[in-house]
Structure 1
Amino acid sequence: MDENLLHDVLAAARTAGADAAEAVFAQRQSLSVSVRLGELEEVEREESRDVGLRVFVGQRSATVSGSDISAEGRAKLIDRAVAMARLAPEDPYAALAPAERLARGPFRDLDLYDPTEPSAETLEAQAREAEAAARGVEGVTNSDGGSSSWSASTWRLVTSEGFSGLHQASGFGVSASAIAGEGAGMERGGEGRSTRHAADLPSPHSIGAKAGELAVAKLNPRKLDSTTAPVIFENRLAMSLLSPLIGAISGPSIARGTSFLKDRLGQQIFAKGVTLLDDPFRPRGLGSAPFDDEGVACEARALIDDGVLTTWLMNVSSAKQLGLESTGHASRGLAGPSGVSTHNLTLQPGDRDLAGLMADAGTGLLVTSMFGPSLNGNTGDWSVGCSGFWFENGVSTGPVTEITVAGNLIDIYARLVPGSDLELRGASNSPSLLVDALAIAGK
């Protein structure tokens, strides 16, 4: 659907009684192939074209979407949206982004689209190579399979406030999952990577081999006695420790008063020297975009600057409620109200590698797997199930399992020490993180 058709949808919505409106067209193609034990398991292809419409009648609004983009289908969509909006409750904070906050073109080229479209045979060969490499690691006894995927998507947003923007991106991925050991002693290890361009993917062999190595490294774990000790969160999962921070500084959480950080804006949250950047303009970034899902211009900013919390993450609605301006973090699908999300998050590295952090800590726990986190959003009390490796005098003494780590995130963040082993693997990246003492519940 071209831009002119979306403008036609907006004009028809205004004619039908809407005071303001925004229209979105989304098109997606994807292909994924999975194999298991050397046999083709699944080939899945998706092709979709959908249109979404949000209309405002006074302070009432409604959002609808549909896959029938014919003239008749669009007319029904518009009539339904306006009728729903007239029946909706009034919301004093619902609105389109004001004209002065909208992104203006020409937009910078972030190199997010690779026109390469691999065949199913190519993806199958990559999945087979990844799984074969995982199964080839000594100690691997079984496989959960290998997979390879490709996608291409187009998102065009037009609003009655004068915004028009196109976002086009591609995605390529390879993953593998291996099983080591037998019976009750089985352990799993997985590895996967996703990139915007095919050429940026690591080799399927390296991904599969890593999955196998991770599984074997977990064999014969022991249980720990409950204790308090330093805990290091490995860089592969360290961002999971910071994900509650993103929820806690989201505008909707602040507006509801349900955040453990609601009174901490402008205050020291982390130690000096700790900086968390959000960069929407990283070339080929998985979270890159010149504008957010309401058309507001994105900005690179330090969410945490030298340990200080600098901003909330706001869409238009939460910004109005808080008497502030949108920060360009609106995130939405075709239907439903906007939420908020970050772009490319990066916790800046420190000066000690993982071995250095372990040496500094002396004796403690290196967490390499996390599951079942629990968070009290009002207080910051947090716990998570995990497994990993116990170390003494800075040296691993072997894998450990069935552990729960717990603490208060305000206290944890204040004592967090970043390592130097930052790897840019996805849209959120962190080096390994050391916390000098946490409660560890074991046997």
Structure 2
Amino acid sequence: MENNKRRADAVFSWRREDFQELVETALAHARKLGATDAGAEASEGCGLSVSVRKGELETVERNRDKSLGITVYVGHRRGNASTSDFSRTAIEQTVQAAYDIARFTAEDPVAGLPDADDIAQPHEQPDLDLFHPWAITSEQAAELALRCEAAAFATDPRIDNSEGAGVSAQQSHFYSGHTRGFRGGYASSRHSISVAPIAGKGDEMQRDAWYSSMRNATELASPEAVGRYAAERALARLKSRKISTRECPVLFESPLAAGLLGAYVQATSGGSLYRRSSFLVDSLGKQVFAPHLDVLEDPFVKRGKGSAPFDEEGVRTKPRKVVDGGRVEGYFLSSYSARKLGMKTTGNAGGSHNLTLTSRRTLPEDNLPEMLRMLGTGLFVIELMGQGVNYVTGDYSRGASGFWVQNGEIAFPVQEITIAGNLKEMFMGIEAVGADTYNYGAKTVGSILVNKMKVAGS
């Protein structure tokens, strides 16, 4: 923790102690005005983003921003305001603004801070090793981006165009507290390298992209590896064609499979449930996935992209099994949504924490070629377009491209098709999950094989 503090002091303009003082000043003024409860959070972020295209520098952007957010409760009335001015006068004016909003807002009987017994205490806030600042200059970042794009161009003569490559280094820290006794904060970082090459010419052009993103820049894939893999993906899509309309099994590449897990989270999140705008309303304890599937949530993964010692309300987080043998064991609830449902918060204000979907059938050798063999004859999807998911009914319809697979082998690339189904049937129809796991944000999952979907083509 002490090493993190020294690193943070070297990177940021504002120290943790400064933020503590700002938060305490805001809370004290809220009490003085007569607030029943109040919360405050001070934060600062800074970073560098560099982009190049066709061997030339395009943009260099540096960002540094700060904010103090105040939430005030007058009984069950809530008001919120924020400022980027950290002077005492500005803080008091911001608290006053939040207080005035609360006084004239309609009363909500479940509005309020978390219950005292849900709040993470200092000894329950482990150091999750989330902060690894990257002391990279704009010249160094540009060099990495150029190497990444150059590796894509060098892969094959058919790649002579690009949408560009980029390098990003981002760091932030915050401190928050509220009148129910919570105090806490930490620093974090997120760095990335990306590229989007274009293969072919004219009507035959195909693009693809790849990236590497990590908390610690030393763990990023090399720019050459990112560039080559993105190029290989674009090349594989050349001479794509349409296929006729049919029903067939569909294999979702692992980055897209994370999107299916994300759809499940959306459908079992508090806001969707208490508004009854989800196809999984009242699903607790019920079979939603195929019986061989489990979903784990672990907020304490070291350097995890979804790791957090507490949620956005200061509620303690904990590892749990949210799906066990296909049955729903837990929702994703904040204090507010939990009260609306007559339940307890699950520590998910702000979202889920490091979800992993696994199958009890998966073997270590179930890599992508093995998953294609399991698919047999059907569609392997590597790109989805559009937002065609109806969370009220579960209906699913997305533009897609990928590969037609015949007898377990890729036959040819396909494009300009639509895949459709219903998420209820798709979840129950998951036949296999690959060992080719990929971490996409806060979700980790292998490729997913769904037994049947409608494919609309020519």
Task: Give TM-score, length-normalised by structure 2.
Answer: 0.93
| Aligned residue in 2 for 1:250 | 269
| Aligned residue in 2 for 1:398 | 412
Q: Secondary structure at the match of 1:12?
A: helix
Q: Deviations over 1:203-255 (max 9, x none)?
A: 01101111111111111101000001110001122111222211110011111
- Opposite residue 25 of structure 1, the aligned amino acid is A
Alpha-carbon separation, structure 1, partners of 2:93 and 2:23: 15
Alpha-carbon separation, structure 1, partners of 2:236 and 2:208: 9
Task: From 324, 327, 332, give the equivalent of 1:308.
Answer: 327
Cα offset, 1:421, TM superposition:
1.2
Mapped pair 1:10 → 2:27: yes
| Aligned residue in 1 for 2:295 | 276
Note the 1:356-367 alignment, pairs <5 A.
Answer: 356-367=370-381
Task: From 379, 393, 398, give the equivalent of 1:384.
Answer: 398
Note the 1:202-213 alignment, pairs <5 A.
Answer: 202-213=221-232
- Opposite residue 439 of structure 1, the aligned amino acid is K
Mapped pair 1:354 → 2:368: yes
Q: Deviations over 1:111-131 (max 9, x none)?
A: 101133211112111111111
Cα offset, 1:425, TM superposition:
4.9
Cα offset, 1:137, TM superposition:
1.7
Alpha-carbon separation, structure 2, partners of 1:374 and 1:100: 41
Q: Deviations over 1:167-187 (max 9, x none)?
A: 210111100110001112111
Q: Secondary structure at the match of 1:146?
A: strand
Q: For structure 1, which runs of at least 5 residues remain unmatched after alignment?
A: 332-340
| Aligned residue in 2 for 1:325 | 344
Alpha-carbon separation, structure 1, partners of 2:440 and 2:417: 27
Does the 8 Å CA contact 1:231/1:435 hold for their aligned counterparts? yes
Alpha-carbon separation, structure 1, partners of 2:319 and 2:121: 16
| Aligned residue in 2 for 1:344 | 354
RMSD: 1.2
- Opposite residue 113 of structure 1, the aligned amino acid is F
Q: Secondary structure at the match of 1:172?
A: strand
Task: Give TM-score, length-normalised by structure 1.
Answer: 0.96
| Aligned residue in 2 for 1:418 | 433
Q: Deviations over 1:368-417 (max 9, x none)?
A: 00011312222211111100000111011110001111111111100112
Mapped pair 1:97 → 2:107: no
- Opposite residue 435 of structure 2, the aligned amino acid is S
Q: For structure 2, which runs of at least 5 residues remain unmatched after alignment?
A: 1-17
Identity of aligned residues (%): 39
Task: From 124, 129, 148, give the equivalent of 1:111.
Answer: 129
| Aligned residue in 2 for 1:334 | none
- How many aligned residue pairs are there? 434
Q: Secondary structure at the match of 2:142?
A: helix
Q: Secondary structure at the match of 1:176?
A: strand
Note the 1:89-238 alignment, pairs <5 A.
Answer: 89-106=106-123, 107-138=125-156, 139-238=158-257
Alpha-carbon separation, structure 2, partners of 1:442 and 1:2: 57
Alpha-carbon separation, structure 2, partners of 1:116 and 1:178: 26
Q: Secondary structure at the match of 1:293?
A: coil
- Opposite residue 405 of structure 1, the aligned amino acid is I
